[in-house]
Amino acid sequence: MTTVTNNTGTTPQTTPQTTSTGIGSEYNSFIKLLTAQVRNQDPMSPMDSTQFVEQLATFSSLEQLVNSNTALSSIASMIGDLNGLMASQWLGEDVTFASSFMPYTGSEATFSYEAPEGATKSTLTVKDSEGNAVWTETLDADETVFSWDGQLTNGGTATKDEMYEFVIDYYEDNSFKGTAVPNVITKVTDIVSDGGTLRLGTASGLTVDLAQARRL
């Protein structure tokens, strides 16, 4: 499936468990070293009390850090479980999300859009993967939902699984005013993991982040 991304991109999640393991190893090494120093100190020349207190303070700080990272790992795990539960509740639901691109699945593709105030006409242009316009139609100014069944201007049919771009231009009294991004209307079919992030797999052939999708 193709991934829908927003303008800010995706930041890979860090894994708290790795940090916790590294700190825990240093913590254990510190304990062994401190114990060896106390056990092997010269009775005639014992460790300086100030130095010993400083090392104990370091020991306390390391202990707190290890405990904190362990707690963070537990919290991260619970958040992951909660996200999985939330994502599973979207299965079978009709959703919508913004996307100018969608692969042709062999079935009719449905979109929605909102023409800005003052627009008197909107046109839909479908472009193939090479940027060639393969279908154009005029949409009603107040139309909010439209479909494309894969029909091409030359009388042919779109190529299955090829990526197509959907461009909506809107006009006011035949004066071009701008381009709108359509919203895909589709059904959630599965939950997929992308780099540790749960995403919604849809019948449109696209996957989308939970934060970008909206139930209908």
Q: At the topology level of CATH, where does 101-181 sit?
A: Immunoglobulin-like (2.60.40)
Contacts of 188 (CB under 8 A, 6+ apart): 90, 91, 92, 93, 95, 200, 201, 202, 213
Mean pLDDT (whole number) for 46-73: 64
Residue written as tokens 């696209």? 206
Alpha carbons 50 and 108: distance in angstroms, whole number:
78
Does residue 59 contact residue 173 with C-beta atoms inside 8 Å? no
* pLDDT at 149 > cutoff 70: yes
Query: For the chain, which residues make up each domain, given as ranges?
Result: 14-88, 101-181, 185-215
In a 13 Å sphere around the CA of 144, the CA atoms on its Cβ side amount to 2
- What's the pLDDT tens digit per position in 6-46? 543 333 334 444 444 555 555 566 566 666 666 666 656 66
Q: What per-residue confidence (pLDDT) applies to 114?
A: 83
What is the residue-averaged pLDDT of the chain? 78
